[in-house]
Amino acid sequence: MNPLILPFLTYAAVTTFTPGPNNITSAAIGMRLGYRKTIPYILGIMLGFLMIMLAAGILTDIASRAYRGALPYLKWIGVLYMCWLAISLFLPSAHGTEAAQVRNAGFRSGLLLQIVNPKVILYGITIYSSFHLLLADTPMKLVASSVFLAILGGIATSLWAVFGNLMSGFLKSRAAMLVFNIAMALLLLYSAVSILLH
């Protein structure tokens, strides 16, 4: 067995299952719409995640150099988007009709989130530069590892969506909903600050 497998799996699991924009938004959408209606959003996240992982694996050296110069701008775009997500939890449109919520929780929204999600981009660069021989020294390994990481991301967002759905029964009152939204907003802001600090 390759000695890099356990460190890789540990890093991938911890990074994928901890709070971040994908997991937090999936929990919030699962709470409002239920798990079934969150599935298109999760599938969008998975496809976007797969695309980022493939790009990171193929272009690790080039991307590392390019992102070093662009990293401050990339971080700020992602941080501002995360702050918008935190604020949007309290806007009336965020709690509008179910049809509007489904549109905002669709496949395209999940996919586009990955483009501005610096946690995913930095994760891809970090994991493929740290575990290149294990994950990407052949095209087959690259594709297999990218698919594995996208599935792992899908499992994480699904669990967070299920958590949000289970919490919906407990969050019938406006006060409980406010507390939940504040907690989700704080987690989003925590993610934004963490990205700025690293």
Residue owning tokens 């918008």: 84
- And the tokens for 158? 């699904």
**pLDDT at residue number 104:** 63
Are the C-beta atoms of 85 and 21 separated by less than 8 Å?
A: yes
Q: Which of 93-97, 127-131, 162-166 has the lowest mean pLDDT?
A: 93-97
- And the tokens for 192? 């934004």
Report the alpha-carbon distance of residue 28 to residue 160 in Å, rounded: 9
- Domains of the chain: total: 1
| Region 70-99 average pLDDT | 63
Q: Which of 59-63, 103-107, 157-161, 167-171 has the lowest mean pLDDT?
A: 59-63
Are the C-beta atoms of 165 and 31 separated by less than 8 Å?
A: yes
Q: How confident is the model at residue 162 (pLDDT cuts 50, 70, 90)?
A: very high
**pLDDT at residue number 100:** 45
Q: Which of 27-31, 51-55, 110-114, 168-172 has the lowest mean pLDDT?
A: 168-172
Structural domain boundaries enclosing 101:
5-12+21-197
**pLDDT at residue number 61:** 56
pLDDT digits (tens, 9 = 90+) for 6-64: 888 888 888 888 778 898 889 989 988 889 999 999 999 999 999 999 998 887 756 55
85 contacts: CB under 8 Å, gap ≥ 6: 21, 24, 25, 188
**Average model confidence (pLDDT) across the chain:** 80
**pLDDT at residue number 74:** 56
